[in-house]
Structure 1
Amino acid sequence: MAAMTEASTPPGGPGPVPQAQLRVTNQDREHVVEHVQAAYAEGRFDKLEFDDRLERAMTARTHGDLMPIMTELYGSRPAAHLHQQTMAPAPPKHHHGPTESNERLGASAAHLVALIGFPIIGPLILLLTAGKTSPYIRRHALESLNFHLTVTGATFLLPFTIVGVILLPVIWVAAIVLSIAGGVAALSENEFRYPLTVRLIK
């Protein structure tokens, strides 16, 4: 995460952007989440402290939001740990059967709940609950939620055109097939992206 160790100068900008004001990426957030989870597993946080830091990490918008969390973990040189993790190969993940299985099942459910009549509320509930502690479930729930919001919008708008009326049944069948494909992908620990999706929720 080179951005954590040095300020950048936007093309054509007036000057360097202060380090703390640089925007973070999803990868930046997930790196900090991994550090927080590791610290919790080592017993360095209790459950309330873990939940607080996890929430702050997953909702961070700038590096200034992430740095205090890393400072609590590593003292005066948090950026060095973040930079080292970004540049070095990721360590092998240790698979803990029940936890990993629960994450896969939760992520899969975010797609498959559409088949039982909860295409929007199902992924939303998973996003707001399990998605707070599992980046994997959060990604799948977000993708499913945005897709089904797109399908719902198309369901209301397309009937105003003749072509739309013809396309609607095709879209509904495709939504079912894609939801199944998303559920299978989540169970297999694969990422899944729905086509032609308006991603309103980030």
Structure 2
Amino acid sequence: MQTRIVAAQFPRTHDPRTRSFQTRYPELRVTDQDREQVVEHVKAAFADGRIDKFEMDERLHRAMTAVTHADLVPIMEELYGAGRPKLDPAVPPPPRYGYQRRVAPKDAGDRVGGAAAHLLTLCGLIVIGPLIMLLTAGRTSPYIRKHAMESLNFHLTVLGASIVLPFTVVGLVLIPFMWILGFVLAMVGGVAALADGEFRYPLTLRLIK
């Protein structure tokens, strides 16, 4: 089970167990699901008029780039006050490795954005396309961010291999097949994103996380 941000309501009284939990496990890495829940709180605060557009963008950026729970808790405290608990102490902390819940798109726009992160590479934007999606729509959508990072890492791997392989005996022969495979996999990734699915490129060095 995973540590989760309480999304529905906050208890009126402070629970000392929650304070202990927050200070004891601040180094735990967050999941995409954790980031997505905080993003929803930030958007709700903007819709209620409690924060302005600049404050929303700044908090969304912090939420989407958070690494540990210590990065997410201050955002929730800014929205609701430091005296209210943000994490559910009844749920044990998540393992550092293993299965994590997949990130689902919020609407059709997320699916199109996720697909664009893959399909823009077919237009010649080999690395630039996924990078643009990561730095724009990926800042507010965990679904687009996940697909953009996967596409970016794969095409960085292909680009790096294209530079290194010519120095090997069979490298020049393999490069055309590698690029053809890359185009095919990009199309498969785009279709998977449109179909509300996940896609992982094979033989990929995932340098961007």
TM-score normalised over the length of structure 2: 0.75
Letter in 2 for 1:200: L
Instruction: Quote the offset at 1:7 in angstroms.
Output: 5.2
Higher relative contact order, structure no. (Cα contacts within 8 Å, ≥ 6 residues apart): 2
More helix by share: 1
* 1:43 to 1:82, Cα distance in 2 relative to 1, 3 A: farther
Greater CA drift, 167-176 or 55-64: 55-64
40, 62, 66: which is aligned to 2:68?
62
Aligned runs of 1:32-47 on 2, under 5 Å?
32-47=38-53
Instruction: Quote the offset at 1:82 in angstroms.
Output: 8.8
Contact 1:3 1:19 in 2 (8 A): no
Instruction: Quote the offset at 1:3 in angstroms.
Output: 8.6
Quote the residue 1:201 is aligned against: 208
Cα separation, 2, equivalents of 1:102 and 1:3:
26
Q: How many residues end up aligned between the 2 structures?
A: 185
Letter in 2 for 1:128: L
| 1:175 has 2:159 as partner | no
Cα separation, 2, equivalents of 1:41 and 1:49:
12
| 1:141 has 2:148 as partner | yes
Cα separation, 1, equivalents of 2:105 and 2:154:
32
Cα separation, 1, equivalents of 2:116 and 2:167:
33
Cα separation, 2, equivalents of 1:173 and 1:31:
38
Letter in 1 for 2:204: T
TM-score normalised over the length of structure 1: 0.78
Query: Root-mean-square deviation (CA), in Å?
Result: 3.1
